[in-house]
Amino acid sequence: MYTVTLSRAELAELNQRRKQTKNKQIADRLQCIYLAHSGQGNKAITELLAVNKNSVTDWIKLYLDQGLDALCRPIDYDRRSSKLDDHIEAIKHDVQDHAISTLAELQDWIKTQYSIELEQSWLWRCCKKNSICLTKKLG
């Protein structure tokens, strides 16, 4: 787990950007950093913002590595979508045929079968966008 400690100036800049942004995705990322600075754990932040736990980790790491400017850049989802576009229908069948029930299993499957490495947070959004439903394991 990463720790976020902001100086007064950094906190002031963060709060200013939180007030100014109209983009919900960027607002969530800024709120995530604020909550992390306030001592909230990743699980609590995940619940408060209703986002995937991997997104919280990705946002905190992005902030710590590259700062507020990188955090406030809109995400261009098309930059990586092409990696899976040709495989979406096959992956839907793979999930059903091989009883893939977790994102980690799907991530490993895609890496093994298609030689494509993906972050779990991106994979989660891809599954949601493309109606890829992981199967539940019985008893």
Average pLDDT over residues 8-24: 94
CB atoms within 10 A of CB 123: 22
Structure tokens at 114: 């298609």
Task: Provide the pLDDT for residue 136.
Answer: 74
pLDDT at position 13, please?
96
Kindly list the domain boundaries of the chain, sorted by start residue: 8-71, 78-129
Q: Are 42 and 1 in contact (CB under 8 A)?
A: yes
- pLDDT, one tens digit per residue, over 107-131 is 999 999 999 888 888 888 888 888 8
- Tens-place pLDDT, residues 83-96: 788 899 999 999 98
- Compute CA distances 96 → 12, 69, 84, whole Å: 49, 41, 17
User: Model confidence over 27-82: pLDDT tens digits?
Assistant: 999 999 999 999 999 999 999 999 988 899 999 999 999 999 999 987 655 454 46
Other Cβ atoms less than 10 A from the Cβ of 108: the count is 12
If one counts every other C-beta atom within 10 angstroms of the C-beta of residue 74, the result is 8
* Six token digits for residue 111: 């890496």
